[in-house]
A and B are shown apart, each in its own frame.
Chain A
Amino acid sequence: MKHFFNIRRVLFSLLFLSLILTAYTLYYKVRYWGFDLKPNKTTDVWIIDAHISFKALGGPVNVYLSTPKTDSEFKILNEDVIAKGYVFEKDENTGRVKLSSSFRKGKQNLYYRLTVYDNEASLGKTKSKEKAKINLPVYDEQQMQTAEEILAAAEKLEGNTVEQIISIFNQSPLNESVETLLPVKANLQTRAEYIADLLALKNIPTRFVRGVKLIEGKKASKADLMLEAYDGQNWHLFDLRTAAEGLPENFIIFQRGDVSLFDVEGGINSQIRFSVLKSVTSSFKMAEHRADVSATAGYYAFSIYNLPLAEQNILKWLMVFPLGILVVVLMRNVVGVPTMGTFTPMLVAMSFVQTGFGAGLICFSIIIAVGIALRGLLSRLNLLLVPRISSVVIFVILIIEAMAVIGHNFDIEVSSSAVYFPIIITAWIIERLSISWEEEGPKNALKEMFWTMVTAIATYAVIASEAIRHFMFAFNEINLVILFVVMLLGTYTGYRLTELKRFYPLIKQRK
């Protein structure tokens, strides 16, 4: 008895450990490799084209462009420059790109293409230890008075000081004082500068942020402008139109603060325009790159996801087997139904997954029925066992062949699905069914067949869902859990469900 509990204790500990392992790898794979619990999860991949155009003056040309840092909220999949004859350099720390060429004249078109994915939620806060300095505006007396009126009016609005001041510049109709302060045709940039000025008066340091809002199909647009305000520890990002704090979704920052977004030396009439293209790809395909950028490439290389696709597909199929096995174990040892062959129901269920349930069930029934009929003829010939079962195997092959041909020519899908059934297993079912029929009567044979099919259907119900198959593949450590559950079931000494029914009369007799 002591021995018995020791085995169980060991198995329970192993089960517990494998559960922890599974939970950990699940977290790990979701966090770093971008795996999802659900199948067919896709990832948006954004392609951003920065198009710099200018007129070269005939001398050497240097073009500088601020680009997103590699530690930005987006993961950078690819970076590409189309600039014929230009030398490409990049400062990895600042993300500043330099394109240089000697002696250029005339219209120049340079393209910088960035492919990014995985926009992670962010509060739009950036830590900064450097003390930010304040550039007080140079205002005359009248401007100063207007500015104070605006500040006083802004205080009545909701939000913190930054939000109040941005809001007052976006009111409709515009506050009179604001209208007085702003030049006649004020664009967003001008407005932003006045907002920064007023914040400086309030002793709040600010800086501008330029980036691209990722909207599908965006063409030749200017960079989007945002404002960052410093609170003594962090830079906070604000939308200049809505005054909302934080980094908007799908916004990628190219440049911050004093550095320019782009500079052209040796050219005039320079401008930069951004275009955005969205493409969708399977999350699974991005896993390797995710692993690379998260410095877990080593683990990834030794995972099954790094194998050739054909092998992965086979493994994906294999990963479902333990689950089917678990169902079989439960049906046999806990429910206690008789089945023909231990894993026959599971293999039949596997075929159902490929054929579809209804079609598979009808098709399988037809194969068995025809097989039984042919086997009936065979039993009159009194053949020896091995040649006889071999003949049944050939019968099954012929039946499958015939059904496939009929299915193809008359366009009957049910018939065509015959090819998915395991030949040897089917042949053994026919053989056993007919022997059991002859020796123990049709009742017994049909009972065994019935429970075999019930077990197959139960297994099918579990493994049919694509979601479960995906889960078993993506988080295949779960198979260890199943292993120990199955081993623990090997120590289960309780009654089987069918035994309760079998021995139930003994309780009644006692009364």
Chain B
Amino acid sequence: MFWPFDTAKKLKSIGILGMNARNYKFIARLNKRRLYPLVDDKVQTKALAIKNGINTTQQIGIIEYQHDVKNIKEIVKNFKEFVIKPAHGSGGKGVLVIKQWDDNRFVTASQKVLSYAQVYQHISNILSGLYSLGGQYDVALIEEMVHFSNIFEQFSYQGVPDVRIIVYKGYPVMAMTRLATAESGGRANLHQGAVGVGLDVKTGKTLTAVQHNVPVQIHPDTKADLKTLCVPFWREHLLIAAKAFEMTGLGYLGADIVLDETKGPMMLELNARPGLAIQIANSAGLVKAIKRAEKFYPKNLSADERVDFILKEN
């Protein structure tokens, strides 16, 4: 039986962070509203990352106005593959990955073939704000495609996983990766059936793995042993996350990082309101991790020093 007060008490005792507490205690306190555009607008985030020496996906071009949409082929003419995304999008909405194209045939990552008119329409939709927060006018961002490291290949059905790291006052406190499954339709949403893998912040190795809130040992489609997953270049992952704090000034943020085959870990996007699902993947509460950081982690360290501190911490 499910008793609300009893459940609330137990969740509190294991330090689970709720939406209200996240918004009131952390986001409202630590994230100044004027800083939001830095992460909500991917064009700005990208520019900032480059300025701060953070590895990120290369921008091919942007389309700001409806009458520029027709230039799309001109913009990407030197690229065999590219990604179109809304600058103000969230949760992967409106992202179109083109793997191969010629005059009137655009093949997407999921092998769907689109006509030029359909791609044109997609960009128009982005500009009119269909995928942006609050529906305001948006900008279409055209980026180089990431060549995902095949290290994850055996762990994911279709889509390529990214690593999400929660950063509290510059310290990475919790990490996870989401593995798409056949059930989730190649998407990385946990409630649609993707596997959530909690990663050890110190090592980048699997701590726990859950699907539909139930612990799992192997990937349901690829049958890979999830315990063997270990994210390479973990220190570089942590460093990108830690630097995001100085770069944006946000005291509580989520950094999404992808691993490129040749270029290593790259910052994909930042989030000023990172979700709470990471607790389910880790089977652990964020409050606990944050309290620990608040109590024991030294202040005024550089990003490098913070990462070293984390890695050496007992």
Contacts and interface: CB of A to CB of B under 8 A. Distances in A.
Q: Do A and B come from one complex?
A: yes
A494 B20 contact: yes
Interface string B257-286: 000000000000000000010011001010
Given A500-B4, A500-B11, A506 B24 contact: no
Question: Per DSSP, are chain B's interface residues mostly helix, strand or loop, or mixed?
Answer: helix
Contacts of B129: 385
B108 interface: no
B20 A507 contact: no
Size category of the A interface is 20 to 34
A491 B24 CA distance: 7
Contact of A495 (B18, B24, B125, B130): B18
B128 A493 contact: no
Contact of B128 (A384, A502, A509): A384
Contacts of B296: none
A439 B14 contact: no
B21 A503 contact: no
Interface string A476-504: 00000000000000111111110111111
Contact of B18 (A382, A491, A499, A506): A499
A494 B280 contact: no
B21 A493 contact: yes
Nearest to B93: A439
A495 B13 CA distance: 13
Contacts of B117: 382
Contacts, number: 79
Interface in B108-122: 117-118, 121
Contacts of A490: 24
Contact of A509 (B18, B93, B215): B215
Nearest to A499: B18
Interface residues of B, number: 34
A333 B215 CA distance: 29
A185 interface: no
B128 A336 contact: no
A336 B7 contact: no
Contact of B280 (A439, A492, A503): A503
Contact of A507 (B7, B130, B210): B7
Given A385-B129, A385-B130, A505-B214, A495 B11 contact: yes
Interface of B: 2, 4, 7-8, 10-12, 14, 16, 18-21, 24-25, 93, 117-118, 121, 124-125, 128-130, 135, 210, 213-215, 276, 279-280, 283, 285
Given A500-B11, A503-B280, A505-B213, 8 more contacts: A439-B93, A493-B24, A494-B18, A496-B18, A500-B2, A500-B8, A506-B280, A507-B7
Interface of A: 4, 333, 336, 382, 384-386, 435, 439, 490-497, 499-507, 509-510
